Amino acid sequence: MDIHEYQAKELLSDFGVPIPRGGLAYSPEQATYRAREIGGDKWVVKAQIHSGARGKAGGIRVCENDKEIWEAADDLLGKRLVTHQTGAQGKVVYRLYVEEATNIDQEIYLGFVLDRKTERVMVVASAAGGMEIEEISASNPESIVRASVEPAVGMQPFQAREIAFGLGLEPGQIAKASETILGCYRAFRELDATMVEINPLVITKEKDIVALDAKMSFDENALYRRPQIAELRDKSQEDPRESYAADRGLSYVGLDGNIGCIINGAGLAMATMDMIKHVGGEPANFLDIGGGASPERVTKAFKAVLADEGVEAILVNIFAGINRCDWVAEGVVQAVKNTDITVPLVVRLAGTNVEEGRRILEESGLPILTADTLAEAADRVVGAWRDTKAA
């Protein structure tokens, strides 16, 4: 789960990370009021969407008076920002963050991520801040400083100091930078984050260290024990298909194809999508209904898939171990009866109670195509989709 910049800053501030003064605004009037609250003679108005590269898309404006703040807020609110991270569809701006301008002397990149290969928290830092880490890796790889954190003891102060020295900071800035690095690590660990990124972490002309931007992502499987984090979720920034499925306990990832997939098991789901592409189709989603696929759960899965207007055929592929094919078949029949399915439907069942499951489908009298193997199922659903398009 991702959160907004201002939310990440508030969380990091609780762990001792210095941030500029700022406030949230939902209207041009509120934006100008926030600037007066903050004080000063220059402010930055920032669009709050779940994406980086907002500045390149025109989502960050530097303002010097009330008129400029008003115009920036009026232009940004309701605007659809398109960045390389949002894709062509972009994301709509519903809120703004107004903060005091900072006298920047140096920009630093600082990131914390879970390295699954080493099973450690990896700290990545670079003196070439202000750019995406991919750009830094390509253009200035020698500037990158890396450190791995031993989970048994956590991040130690000497590691933070080594990172600060590796960034070439002045002696007087080492202690402040070390405190900031340790604060980010504590936030990462104690809030079950999967990513903390400050880009840029700036050194001001007054020699202070300030987090000018911040991103945080969290492990959704741990949200049950972090209710204060779960409350920060903004569904307006999420794929509505994925939000609908997640609220119903389904593992769903939306894709750009037109063959809807309802499958149990992540491995089988990946194999099914590969087979669909192999025979010339394009999967519209990854959907794993899990081990306990009751008829009600299967019906929810159908509704999640059909919520995607781009779906033009559906493939149900179930290998029943913990599941039972007759339960799944009952769910398919119930879903077809209770939902308005106007696209071709192919069902492939295998495993526990498979004969009973096939009998239920055959005797239902519904227009359900069946298949015995994965290859046959993929071929039939793509063929049915092509026939429908041709007709």
Phi, psi torsion values for 189, nearest 5 degrees: -75, -45
Q: How many CA atoms lie within 13 A of 344 on its CB side?
A: 22
Count other C-beta atoms under 10 Å from residue 345's C-beta: 23
3-class SS letters over 229-259: HHCCCCHHHCCHHHHHHHCCCCEEEECCCCE
Q: Is 339 within any annotated ligand binding site?
A: no
Q: Is 102 within any annotated ligand binding site?
A: yes
Q: Is 213 within any annotated ligand binding site?
A: yes
The residue type found at 116 is R
- Token couple for 145: 């400083």
Out of 6, 179, 185, 197, pick the active-site residue: 197
Q: Is 373 within any annotated ligand binding site?
A: no
Q: Is 65 within any annotated ligand binding site?
A: no
Q: Which residues of 70-88 are buried (b: 16+ CB within 10 A; e: fewer)?
A: bebbeebbebebbbeebee
Q: Which residue has the tokens 């500029």?
A: 20
Q: Which residue has the tokens 């003891």?
A: 153
Pairing of strands 313-320, 259-263: parallel
109 classed as catalytic? yes
User: Exposed, middle or buried, 346 (CB in 10 Å: 0-12/13-18/19+)?
Assistant: buried
Q: Is 107 within any annotated ligand binding site?
A: yes
Out of 6, 97, 109, 185, pick the active-site residue: 109
309 classed as catalytic? no
Q: Is 353 within any annotated ligand binding site?
A: no
Beta bridge partners of 80: 92
Annotated binding site for Mg(2+): 199, 213
Give catalytic residue positions: 109, 197
Q: Which residues are annotated as a binding site for ATP?
A: 46, 99, 102, 107
Task: Pick out the residues of the known binding site for substrate.
Answer: 264
